[in-house]
């Protein structure tokens, strides 16, 4: 198992280029399988979740070709309506998008219940509510869900809870349904807008993505197209937080500042200087981090996928900060690891109460999920001494070349392979 070693307290300076958005790519790749032609998708992040999604699509006959490290060609010509590999499906949440893609393509689908980051129950009742509204029946048995119908017919769906996954899956099932589908209380994330834009490039008829009401008029065919994925606002927010945590001066490039508004607003509240340009943002940190309160919300609120990172930053802010994780049941498992580094944080249900400490001290810690791993990297970069992070496979699910990007802005960080001799790997 690879580990990351960090010697902290270095002020990081320089430029970081942001990769394509993981959660947009994980929706757009299965959406490309709905096409009757070949799609070329550019700016795809080179991360393990994408590798798994490509394997999943190949598993059901889709021809996936890596044209270069960030461009993928999807040819669904030989796609079959069958169950993909359990081993792959259990590892990524986005595998549940095969439900909507197969249903939209073949009027039936049968998949294993999805896996992904473990922070509480991750139901799919809203996905199934949407499929049912479109005329499909479903059954759950032996860890699998089967959905089928004679014909998909447009309908109204009011989501009981704002769900990114359910919004994605209903879009995938509705684009070729007969008539009009209206999704109310829809997710508004940038990756939902990116998916809708991609589907429209293929010939779909979707309006309202980015608002809480999305209207989809079914079309008969979807043709191949070329498309470039939006930048990853969570990767971008993570590097801005690193600038704040190391009192450094980092410019992130190839981004859409509007996608990060709630993140930059919070960093300004904490005392970070933020300078916005057309497709880049500069963050200048300082030693005096100000306490503040955070509540995670669906977009355009503060994103839950930035909660561990901002909590790690606030662990060194003067005073008491309160973080309310209002989206997930149990997304504070990483705090136990921050405590090993001297953080003074107590957790009560969905609330974390942070008493800022002057310094964190490097220690051996373990990444429990993707963004928890990012939080530990942030803590290690700002801590005194050496931090060793285990289980970094979680980090590599969503951050392309994180060690190399951090080395390029002055971090003393490296990756070692867990063998008899601790060989350096990057």
Residues making contact with ligand EPZ (CB under 6 A) = 22-23, 26, 93-94, 117, 122-127, 161, 163-166, 187, 304-305, 327-328, 370-371, 398
Nearest residue (CB) to ligand EPZ, 6 versus 94: 94
Give yes or no for a contact between 236 and 254, defined as CB atoms under 8 angstroms apart.
no
Minimum Å gap between C-beta 397 and ligand EPZ is 8
For residue 121, give Cα distances in angstroms to 88, 118, 158, 248.
19, 8, 21, 38
For ligand EPZ, the closer of residues 10 and 191 by Cβ is 191
The residues that bridge with 387 in the sheet, in sequence order, are: 6
Residue 226 has phi, psi (to 5 degrees) of -105, 140
- By beta-carbon proximity to ligand EPZ, the closer residue of 32 and 247 is 32
Residues whose CB falls within 8 Å of the CB of residue 191, separated by 6 or more in sequence, listed in order: 21, 23, 24, 27, 164, 230
Nearer to ligand EPZ (CB atom), residue 260 or residue 317: 260
In the block, which residue shows the tokens 């990116």? 194
- Name the helix (H) or strand (E) containing 394: helix 393-396
Task: Give DSSP secondary structure letters for 193-226.
Answer: HHHHHHHHHTT-EEE-BTBSEEEEE--S-----E
Q: 3-state DSSP call for residue 110?
A: strand
Q: Is 39 a catalytic residue?
A: no
Question: In the structure encoding, which two tokens stand for residue 407, read together?
Answer: 């080395």
Output the smallest distance, CB 204 to ligand EPZ, in A. Answer: 20
202 close to 35: Cβ distance less than 8 angstroms: yes
Question: How far does the chain reach from its first CA to its final CA, in angstroms?
Answer: 14
Which H or E element spans position 406? helix 402-407
Closer residue to ligand EPZ (CB): 83 or 297? 297
Cβ closer to ligand EPZ: 126 or 312? 126
* From 39, 96, 117, 292, the catalytic residue: 117
Q: Which residues are catalytically annotated?
A: 117
């Amino acid at each position: 198992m690879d580990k990351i070693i960090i010697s902290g307290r270095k002020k990081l300076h320089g430029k970081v280029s942001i990769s394509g958005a993981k959660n947009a790519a994980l929706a757009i790749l299965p959406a490309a399988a709905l096409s009757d032609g070949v799609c070329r998708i550019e700016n795809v992040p080179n991360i393990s979740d994408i590798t798994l999604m490509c394997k999943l699509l190949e598993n059901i006959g889709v021809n996936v070709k890596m044209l270069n490290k960030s461009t993928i060609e999807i040819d669904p010509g030989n796609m079959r309506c069958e169950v993909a590999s359990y081993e792959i499906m259990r590892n990524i949440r986005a595998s549940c998008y095969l439900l909507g893609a197969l249903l939209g393509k073949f009027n039936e689908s049968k998949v294993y219940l999805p896996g992904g980051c473990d922070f509480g129950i991750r139901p799919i009742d809203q996905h199934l509510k949407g499929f049912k509204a479109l005329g499909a029946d479903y059954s759950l048995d032996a860890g699998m869900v089967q959905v089928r119908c004679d014909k998909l017919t447009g309908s109204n769906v009011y989501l009981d809870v704002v769900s990114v996954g359910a919004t994605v899956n209903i879009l995938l099932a509705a684009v070729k349904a007969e008539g009009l589908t209206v999704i109310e209380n829809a997710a508004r994330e940038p990756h939902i807008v990116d998916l809708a834009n991609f589907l429209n490039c293929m010939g779909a008829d979707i309006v309202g993505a980015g608002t809480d009401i999305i209207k989809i008029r079914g079309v008969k065919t979807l043709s191949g197209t070329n498309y470039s994925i939006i930048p990853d606002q969570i990767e971008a927010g993570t590097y801005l937080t690193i600038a704040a945590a190391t009192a450094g001066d980092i410019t992130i490039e190839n981004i859409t500042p509007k996608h990060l508004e709630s993140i930059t607003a919070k960093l300004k509240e904490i005392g970070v200087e933020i300078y916005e340009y057309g497709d880049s943002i500069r963050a200048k940190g300082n030693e005096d981090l100000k306490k503040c309160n955070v509540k995670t919300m669906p977009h355009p609120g503060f994103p839950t996928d930035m909660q561990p990172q901002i909590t790690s930053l606030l662990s060194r802010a003067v005073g008491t900060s309160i973080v309310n994780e209002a989206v997930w049941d149990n997304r504070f498992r990483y705090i136990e690891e921050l405590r090993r580094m001297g953080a003074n944080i107590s957790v009560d249900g969905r609330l974390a109460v942070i008493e800022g400490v002057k310094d964190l001290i490097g220690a051996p810690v373990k990444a429990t999920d993707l963004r928890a791993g990012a939080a530990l990297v942030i803590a290690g970069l700002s801590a005194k001494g050496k931090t060793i992070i285990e289980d970094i496979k979680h980090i590599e699910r969503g951050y392309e070349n994180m060690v190399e990007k951090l080395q390029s802005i002055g971090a003393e960080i490296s990756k070692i392979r867990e063998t008899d001799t601790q060989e350096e790997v990057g």
